[in-house]
Amino acid sequence: MNNAPIHLDEHTLQVQTLFVQHQQAVLAFVLSLEPGLHDAEEIVQEAFVTVTRKASTWTPGTNFLAWSCTIARYTTMSFQRDRGRRGFRLAEDVVEMMAEYMEEDFSEFQGRVAALRGCLKQLAPKAHELVNLRYHAGLRPEQIALEIDWTANAVRVALTRARVALRECLGRFTESAS
């Protein structure tokens, strides 16, 4: 067994770094195609492996996010095909249309992601925690309630208020960007 360390070239390391920086945007894109958070995260991990393997095909100065999302799209379609999810997935022509739309509007998409991150930072700490538990960890309000020792109804109300605050903050961002 060869235990020699693997040395990646500088370009591959740059591609991996860019992927990590754009990982949340790639995950958001994958979630638009595969709504299950656990499966989407698995797809993003597989896309990272493919991006690393195909690093030499990316040209610096081109749209990295569009390139990596194209790889993520094919990874998603392969994942769905392998899992036999034909009845539970979008038709490939719809996926192609969505991907074309995403590629055209990546800068707007990136702006929205940045705005959402900024708005999340403005939430009260407890609201931010609840949003993370609900949307990042994928917990239902009942599970969150057990986690933080609240009632499920209190969690639902707090999440509703957090979503309203985020919507208003994003609305202010959109108005200032126009």
For the chain, give every domain's residue range. Answer: 1-104, 106-178
Distances (CA, A) of 65 to 15, 24, 51, 102, 166: 11, 11, 11, 10, 25
Which one is predicted more confidently, 146 or 107?
146
Read off the pTM.
Answer: 0.53
Question: What is the model's pLDDT at position 97?
Answer: 60
Confidence (pLDDT) at 9: 86
CATH 3.20.19.10, applies to 106-178: no
Residue 37 confidence (pLDDT): 82
- Average pLDDT for 156-171: 92
**Least confident interval from 8-22, 107-121, 137-151:** 107-121
Q: Which residues of 73-88 are buried (b: 16+ CB within 10 A; e: fewer)?
A: bebbbebbeeeeeeee
Which pLDDT score, from 0 to 100, does residue 95 have?
57
CATH 1.10.1740.10 fits 1-104, yes or no: yes
